[in-house]
Amino acid sequence: GLPMRPLRLDIEGLTSFRERQQIDFSEFGLFVITGPTGSGKSSILDAITLALYGEVHRANRTELKDLITLGSTQTRIQLDFEVDGTRYRVARRLPRFGAQKAAIEREEGGAWYPEVETDRVREANQRIEEIVGLDFPAFTKAVLLPQGAFSAFLKGDTRERREILVRLLELSRYERAGERAREMAKTLRIQAESLHTVIDKEYHDATEEALRELEAHAVALQVLSEKLERVYASVVLLVSAAGEAQAKAQQVTEELAHLRANQQRLEDLRNRWAVLQPALQAALEAAQAVAARMRAAEQTAAQARLRVDETQKQTGDLAALTRLVDAAAQYEKEAQRMAALAEEIGVAAKGATHAREWMEQAVAEADRRQDQETRTRHDEETARQAREQAQRVLESAQAKAELEQALTDAQKACDSAREAVQEAEARAVQAADRAEEARLQATHVRHTEYAAALRADLKPGDRCPVCEVVVGHVPTGGAQARQTIERAEAAYDRARNGYEAETHNVQQARAHLHVAEAALQARGERLHAVASAPSLEQAQAARAACNKSFDAAARHRAEAETARQAADAAREQAKIEFVRSEERASRLRSQHTDAQQRLETARAVIREAFPDEFPADLANQVRQRQARLTEAHNALNVAEEALTNERTAKTTVDESYALEKQRADAFKLEFVAARTRCTTSAEAFGQRAVASVPEPPAVDEDTTAHLNDLRAWLAGVIDEGTRILGVLNEAQAAKAGQVLAVLRQAEVTASSTELAGVADEVHEMLNATRAEAEQARRDALDLKRRIAKKAELTGQCRKDEARSGRYNELGSELRADRFIAFVLEESLEQLAALASEELRRISAGRFSLAVHESNFSVIDHVNADEERSVATLSGGETFLASLSLALALAASITELVGQPGSRLDAIFIDEGFGSLDPDTLDVVVDALERLQEGDRMVGVITHVPLLAERIPAGLVVERSGGASSVVVANK
C-alpha cells in the first residue's frame, strides 16, 4: 500500500516563488489551492514532484533549469512526508550552473539520520521509489494528477497501467512468493538429496544383524572379565606375601649399604689424619717468625710519618699546593682573556647601533607598503562588486531577450491556434448542416416509404399493423422500401458521426488555444518582471568594462601584495640582525664579568698562601714547596710499603696456620660425626633386620687407636647383615613359583618377569576386558540409536521430496503470466465497477465504465447502452470519467490490495473543474468529500470560485511585483 502523506513543503527560487515559502499540509484534509492565472498554483505540485523525483510533469529534464526564478542562481526544495508512521525529509538543490543535488533523511527519536550516504541524484531517486512505492510516471497518474496528465491512467498505455497497478496493489509480493516457492522447492530437493547421501554414507552399517553380533560379543567379554577378576585376586595375595619378603630384603640391603658407606668413611678419615698432623706443626713455627719482623717495620714507619707532619706545617699539604698551582695558572689565563674581551665588546656595540638604525628604516617601509596593499584590496573588492552587478544585469538582459523571442513565438502560436479554432468551427457548422440535411432526408424517406416498409414483413393471413384487418394478398415492393429507409438512416448516421468528430476537433482546437494563451500570458508576465533590464548589447558592453576594471584592480592589488611581502621580509631580516647584534654584545659582556670573577677567585687563593706580599716569582716559590713535601712523602711511602709487606706476610702465615688448625678441628668433628653415624646405622640395622648388634668400642684419646677399634666393630655388624639377606631372598623365590602355578591353571599368559609386573599385567588385562565389554555395550546402544536415526532421516527425506513437489507446483502457479495476470485483470474489473458507481453519480446516470483486455471503454446509457472507446469522450466527459477512476482507486486501494494497512493517503488534482456545470460541480464536491473521509488528504487546484467556496480550507497563491507568496485561507 501507499500510506504516503506530505507534511511540510519549503520552496525557494522556483518559477514565481522567488523568496522562500513554507507550506504546512499537516492540518489539511480536503482543501483547495486558488489564485489568479499564472500565479504559481501548479508550481506547488511541481515542487512536490521535484523534491521527490527531481522531475516535473510539464518540463523534461533538459528544461528543468528554465523553472529557476529569473535572477536567481538556484532552486531549493524541501519536503517532509510520512510513510507507514515514519517521517522522512528530502531536500533538492537545482543550480542554474552545475548538477542537481539531493539528500534524504529519516527521523528517529527526534533526530534526523541520513537514508543515503551520498548526495548523488541516482541513489536518492532509487531510495525515494523504495520508500514511496511508485516511480515518477506512476506517481503522476495515481497520487498527483497534474494538468495534461489527468486522463493518462484512463487512456494510457496498457503496459504502463499494468506496471502502476503492480506497484499500487503490491502484486510484486506474489512474484517474490513464486520465486521463494521455487527456491524452497530447489532447497528441499537438494536437502532430500543430501539426506540420501548421508544415509548411504554414514548409516549403511546400521542393520539389525550387526546389532545382534555386537550384543553377543559384549556377553562373551563380560564372562572373560569375571574370570580375570578371580585370577587377579589370587595373584594379588601371593604378590603381597612376596612383596613383604622383598620389602624386608630391601630394607636389609639398604642398611648394609649404609654400613658399608660408613666403613669407607672410616678408611678415608684414617688416611687424612696421617697427612693433617705434621702440616699443623710446621704452620705454627712459621707464624712465630714473621711476627718478630713486623714489629721492627712499625718503628721505621712511625719516624717517617713525624717528618711528613713537620714539612706540611711549613709548606701546606698536597691539596693546598694543588689549589695554589691551579690558581696561579688561572690568574694568568683570565688576565689575558679580559683584555681580549674588552676589545670585542667595543666592536659589538658599534654593530648593534647600525642594526637598530636599519631595523627602524625597514619597519617604516613595511608599514607604508601595508597601507598601499589595503587601498588596492579595497579597489579590487569595489571592482568585483561592480562586475557581479554587471553579470546580474547581463543575465536579466539575456532573459529579457529570450522572453521577447518566446513572446513572439507564443503570439504566433496563439494566432495559429485561433485560426485552427475558426477553421474547426467552420467545419463543424458545415458538418452540422450536412447532418441536419441527412436527418431531414431520412425523415422524408421514412414517411414516404413507411407503408411499404410496414408490409415488408407481412405474410398472407397476418393482420395489418394499422387497421388490424386480415391481409389476404400482400402487395410487392416492401423489401425495396426497407432498403431505401436503411440507406437514408445510414447516411444520417455517417453525417452525425462526422458532426461529432468535428465537434471533438473544435474542443481540441479550443484546448490548444487555451494552452497557447496561457503560455502567452505567462511569458508576458515574466517579460514584465524584467522590462527594466537594458538591451543585451548595453549589458554586454557594461560587463566587459567592469571585467577590464576588475582585471586592472586585481593586477594592482597583486603588485602591492608582492611589494608588501618584500617589505615584510626585509623588516623581519633587520629585526633578526638587530637581535643577533644585541645578543652578541650581551654575551661578550657576560663573558668579561665571568672572567673578572674567576680572576678574583684565583687572587684570593694566592694571597692565602703568601699573606705578606704577592711574590714576583710565584711559579718558582710554588715549585720549591712542592719538592720539599714530595721528598718527605716519598720516605714515608717506602717505610709504609715495608710495613705493609710484613703485615701481608704475617697475614698469609697466620691464615695458613689457622687453616691447618681449622682442618684439624674439622677432622675431629667429622670423626665424631662418623662414629655417631656408624653406631646409629648399626642400631637401625638391628631394628629393621630384627638382629642383635654388639656394643661399639669406648672413646680413646688417641685418635689412631680409636679409629682402628671402630673399624673392627663395624666389620662384624656387616657380616651379620649379609647372612640375614640370604634367608629373605630364598622366601621371595618360593612365592614367585606359586604365582606361576596360578597363571598356568587359569590359562593366562604374562610377559613380565617381576611379580609386581605380573599383577599389574593381569590388572591391565582385567581393565582392558572390562573397557572392551563396556564399549561393546555402548556401541550396541549407539547402533540402536543410529538405526532409529536412519529411519527418521528416511522419513524426513520422503517429506522433503513431497514438499519440494508442492512448492514447485506453487511456484509455477505464481508466475507473472498466470496468477498475477489473473489478479490484474480481476483488479481492473473491480476498479472499473467501483469507478462506474462514482461515474454514474457525477454524470447523472449517463455513463459507466467497462474493461476488456486491460483497456477501459465507456457505456453510454442515454444512447441505448452503447459501449465505445474512452477516446471518443469529450473534454468534460473525460474529466468526469478520469476523476471517478481516480476517486475509486484512492478510496478502494485497501479492498484491491487485500491488506488492512494499504491506502492512498494523499491525492492532488489540477485540471478539469472549469468544464463542469454548477449541478455537476456539486456532485463532484460531494465525491471529493467522501474521498476525504478517513483522514485522507485531497488537494484541488482550481480557479472556479464556486468550488473554492464549497471547500472549507485552502491555500491562496498571491502575486505581487513579479513574485508569488502562499497564505493559508481558512473559511
pLDDT tens profile 524-557: 777 777 777 787 788 888 888 888 888 888 888 8
Mean pLDDT taken over the chain: 80
pTM over 0.75: no
Q: Where are the beta strands (DSSP E) in 426-496?
A: none
Does pLDDT of 447 surpass 70?
no
Other beta carbons within 10 angstroms of residue 362's beta carbon come to: 21
pLDDT tier, 6 (very low <50, low <70, confident <90, very high otherwise): very high
pLDDT digits (tens, 9 = 90+) for 743-794: 777 777 777 767 667 777 778 887 888 888 888 888 888 888 888 888 888 8
pLDDT tens digits for 711-737?
888 888 888 778 877 777 777 777 777
Give which of 126, 117, 82, 119 is closest to 103, Cα–Cα. 119
pLDDT score of 82: 92
Sheet hosting strand 101-108, strand order edge to edge: 21-24, 4-12, 74-83, 86-95, 101-108, 111-114
| C-alpha angle 150-154-158 in degrees, rounded to nearest 5 | 125
Instruction: Indicate whether 577 pLDDT > 60.
Output: yes
**pLDDT for the residue 455:** 56
**Residue 88 φ then ψ, to 5°:** -125, 160
Residue partners of 331: CB distance under 8 A and separation at least 6 = 599, 602, 603, 606
Q: How far apart are CA 197 and CA 944, in angstroms?
A: 78
Does the pLDDT of residue 892 top 70, yes or no?
Answer: no
Specify which residues 76 forms β-bridges with. 12, 93
pLDDT of residue 900: 43
Greatest mean pLDDT among 238-247, 454-463, 826-835: 826-835
Question: If you average pLDDT over residues 410-425, what whole number do you get?
Answer: 86
Do residues 104 and 95 make contact, with C-beta atoms less than 8 angstroms apart? Answer: no
Going by pLDDT thresholds of 50, 70 and 90, the confidence category of residue 477 is: low
User: Which residues is 92 bridged to in the sheet?
Assistant: 77, 102
Confidence band for 2, pLDDT divided at 50, 70 and 90: very low
Ordered DSSP codes for 549-576: HHHHHHHHHHHHHHHHHHHHHHHHHHHH
CB under 8 Å, gap of 24 or more: what pairs does 280-286 form?
280/660, 280/661, 280/663, 280/664, 283/653, 283/656, 283/657, 283/659, 283/660, 283/661, 284/657, 286/653, 286/656, 286/657
Residue 51, pLDDT above cutoff 80? yes
43 closest CA partner among 89, 11, 79: 11
pLDDT bracket for residue 899 (50, 70, 90): very low
pLDDT at residue 190 tops 70: yes
Q: At CA 275, angle to CA 272 and CA 281, rounded to 5? A: 130
- The pLDDT > 90 percentage for the chain reads 6
Look up cell 590359562; give the residue.
747
Look at residue 503 and tell me whether its pLDDT is greater than 60. yes
Mean pLDDT of 616-632: 77
Q: What would the grid cell of residue 967 be? A: 497564505
- CA end-to-end span of the chain, whole Å? 33
H/E stretch holding 87 reads strand 86-95
**pLDDT tens digits for 75-134?**
999 999 998 889 999 999 999 888 899 999 999 988 999 988 777 888 999 999 888 877
What band does 54 get if pLDDT is binned at 50, 70 and 90?
very high
By the 10 Å C-beta count (0-12 exposed, 13-18 middle, 19+ buried), 336 is classed as exposed
Inform me whether the pLDDT recorded for 670 exceeds 90: no
Most confident of 211-220, 901-910, 940-949: 211-220
DSSP string, 158-189: HHHHHHHHHHHTTTHHHHHHHHHHHHHHHHHH
Rounded alpha-carbon distances, angstroms, from residue 382 to 71, 318, 540, 550, 552:
21, 89, 19, 8, 12
- Return left, alpha or beta for 904; rule: phi > 0 is left, psi -120 to 50 is alpha, else beta: beta
